[in-house]
Amino acid sequence: MHPDDRPPLAAPPQVPPPYAAADQSLLTVGWISYLLHLVVAVAAVIPGAQVSIAVLLVALVLDLVKRGDAEGTWQASHFRWRIRSVLWAAVLYILTAPLWLLLIAPGWIAWGVISIWFLYRIVLGMVRMNRHQPVEASRVL
C-alpha cells in the first residue's frame, strides 16, 4: 500500500479550552465548599455522627464571600444552590424542632428527611459541577 493511499487519520478529540485563572479559582472554591457541605450532609444522615456546625458555617461564609466573583459565569448557580440549600435546611430544622418536644420519633423522622434532602442537593450540585454545568434554578428538590 502506498503511503498516499492510507485513509486519513481521525481528527484528535476536542479538548476544552483551558479555564481562565479566575474560573479555575472559582472551581476550586466550589469544590472546597461542596466537600465541606458533603461532610456535614453525610454526618447528618449517619446516626451518632457528629460534625461541628462550624464546618457548615465556614462553607456558607466562603460561598457568601465568593459568590460575587462568580456572577455571569455558569458557576454562579452553584453558589446560589449551596447558599439556598443551607438556608432552607436551617429553616426546615427550626420549623420542625418543636416535634422533638412532642415526641422524639416525629423529630427523628422530620430531621432525617431534611438531612437526606440536603445530602441529595449537595450530591446533585457536585455531579453538575463535575460536568461543568450550572444547576437549574427550576429544580424544586
Note the pTM of the prediction, 2 decimals: 0.78
pLDDT in tens, 11-45: 555 545 555 666 889 999 999 999 999 999 998 88
pLDDT in tens, 60-112: 999 999 999 999 999 999 999 999 999 999 999 999 988 878 777 788 889 88
pLDDT of the residue at 141: 54
pLDDT of the residue at 15: 45
Residue 44: closest CA among 123, 129, 131 = 123
Question: Which positions ≥6 away from 32 have C-beta within 8 Å?
Answer: 59, 62
pLDDT surpassing 90 at residue 130: yes
Question: In the predicted model, what is the mean pLDDT of residues 106-126?
Answer: 92
pLDDT band at 129 (very low <50, low <70, confident <90, very high): very high
Q: Which segment of 48-52, 89-93, 127-131 scores lowest on mean pLDDT? A: 48-52
